[in-house]
Amino acid sequence: METNYLKRCFGNCLAQALAEVAKVRPSDPIEYLAHWLYHYEKTAKAKEKNREEKIQLQEEYDSSLKEMEMTEMLKQEEYQIQQNCEKCHKELNSETVSTKKTIFMQEDTNPLEKEALKQEFLPGTSSMIPGMPQQVSPSESAG
């Protein structure tokens, strides 16, 4: 039972410490062993802290990469939407202009004028519109 406790608390470090004492053969082996164990503990804590910091940094880095990827995807999506909007606006503007021209032509000319325009361009037709009063120039009225 004591060996399990010692293995759990000291693990491999007690065996390493005793091997170091046997190798160095200091004048005060107990003091040397105590300093060696304190130094081992500081080193082990520093290694654990360093390992935890590396893990945390790696997690932050991964998170940052994901965020950058999402930002890039959103920028691309925004650009595509903007391009689609510009395309739609151009199509709407061209349709609106042609519709306005058609409406303007329809509103601007009454049926009699439309008939006159048709006759004006047909060969052998006169420019006189039936049913409309004609303006006579002063030179024609004198003659």
> How do the pLDDT tens digits run along the chain, 143 residues long?
678 888 888 888 888 999 999 999 999 999 999 999 999 999 999 999 999 999 999 999 999 999 999 999 999 999 999 999 888 888 777 776 666 666 655 555 555 665 655 555 555 555 555 555 555 555 555 55
* Per-residue model confidence (pLDDT) at position 91: 79
Domain-wise residue ranges, the chain: 1-71
Query: The whole model's pTM is what?
Result: 0.44
Number of H-type helices and E-type strands within the chain = 5, 0
Q: Find out whether 24 and 32 touch, Cβ atoms under 8 Å.
A: yes
